[in-house]
Structure 1
């Protein structure tokens, strides 16, 4: 082959055969199908056979393609082979990902029942054994002959209930320990935040603050604000955990005496009074939570109001007083719960006395009816009416006394509740508050209260509340202050 540019000739494999017909064209099949793509580059070259320069021994190459049936059939077979291999690989992958089918359940027999009973006693094979037992019962294998075997297997399954309950108790104990560990860790983090805040507060004092540059003061102020935000977030999280614990404790207290609740529902009046007392107890508990949130918000406001130049306005004594007021509210809640229990005891005694009087009335009626001298007509009806009238009068008088006592107790409890709210509110306002401010705050909790009622209640307790005048001229106003601690220390 002669060519002016031999470097452009592609490197092609030798054809497997060369057919030279009489015409000027010939066909040359190649062993690789990829060689067909490089053949068009050969077109246009001049070709010479041997060293002869005759015209018959030289010429120009022209490449063209022709479709051979044998090659097409071979290519189609190759494509089908590749498709079969791909389907086989896909099926193997799907079988690998498919979950294993459950083992077949054997049919019921005496021998299999004995083995299943032993497997039910083992903790490791209990789940599989219960599945087999359920399948047998669902198939209808239970009959008169096999009833005893199935009963023993069901009894073995029931024996695991105690084990499961003990495991549940153990997990609950572990969960409580984890909660306690988490709470202690949060408290430690909060303590460290308090220490860091104290460092920032000390750095913000006037004697140290003046020595820092403007950029350093700006950075310290930014760091202090970030630390306070994180500390407040952790404090709210700890308060939420404590509220959840108190709610759980209150739920446990409410679940202590279910039998007593059932007995109280037997009598209509007793049930209504008990329900009202429980509602009051719940409302007091919710109000206590509201007071805690209010105290926390007031504490945050006091912290924000204290400037970094005067940190002495944020002492630990303020926190101590707030904790003491919270403790007083908790004591009040405990006393109200004790009153609730005493009311339940009184209601139980009243119910017993009511039953006893009913028995006495029935016995007296039977005695009068079975008397030897039976009086006919209206004379025979008079004793019964008299007895019934006496019993009715007795019951009505007892109901009036119980309603009057209950009404008086509710009034005193309401005054005690108002006293606690006013004391807490004035305690977190050491400079006092006027009656309008106090009334607007308490009205959000109780819409029926009036300003005159609050003022009369505080006027009756001069050792707890003291009224003072503050301001000059047009700003003169009367303020109420809480003086319970001073009065207690002077006694």
Structure 2
């Protein structure tokens, strides 16, 4: 009780033994499984997770998880650890190169600084010559002399530092030349050959062990692989044949559709020509009738108002017929090229059920005809309202005009 009362502020007593609190225990290593091994193999290839993964791999090997069934997985993970050695050496070489470049940059900068110090000291020396020195006041001479001495000290310090760097470089070059001596080079070659021979021996043993494991597994999986291969090969051929048949049917259907549309366009073109001939004949008849009516009026002495009424009626009929012909003519095709364009555009829009804007359509048509313009395509589409329709999609800045194929609906209204 007295010990507890002696504790100031009611602080909790220290742990038994008076030692520091124990460090937290490291996280538990997960148990080995093929799934966990596959995840660990990926972590070993990730530089940020390599340290954690190599600890788990070491724990598994020490636990005795390596057996004939898991040997291939462990060999692959050990191989990944060996590959990390190359990554580390490459990283070290990169840092060494950066260090050498930094040294070179520092030496060049120091050389430039020293050159400027030399120029400044030269200015002070020129100022102390009698030719200029006599013109300075006593206070100015004192300041110039102090500045000159300070600049000379700094210049000497920079020069000494630069000379030290050059001496180190010369010593490194001398060491490199000594390393190239025949005796030392022979010792280095012998060590390298011994290391290479040991590595080849280890790799040979590993390959022999891996080959034995493969032989055991091949006998168990041979029949299953052959059966699976036959099944997959037949299935792949059937799928390819079915896909080709569907593609050919789709192309044939498109060709039939295009051919039907071309025939319809030819019929419309012939009909437009017939209507034009009919209109011209009607106009000629009306002109003859108008001429005969005028002569009859003059002969029979009808009033001038009757003559004007006939003329107005005749002109109205001619104008109406001419307007009908112009409208029909504007919706027809002018050439075989237009029929081809209509067929191609119809095919393009048929596979774009949600429509396409005029720029997208123009970029496609330019691959077939580089001279065609977007305006020419749009005018052609506007002349055929029962085949193509224009819709607006979007709101505000995203508003967009798109053309769609409506021939399948338009043919029902004709």
Pairwise TM-score range, normalised by the shorter structure:
0.3 to 0.5
Higher relative contact order (CA 8 A, sep 6+): 2
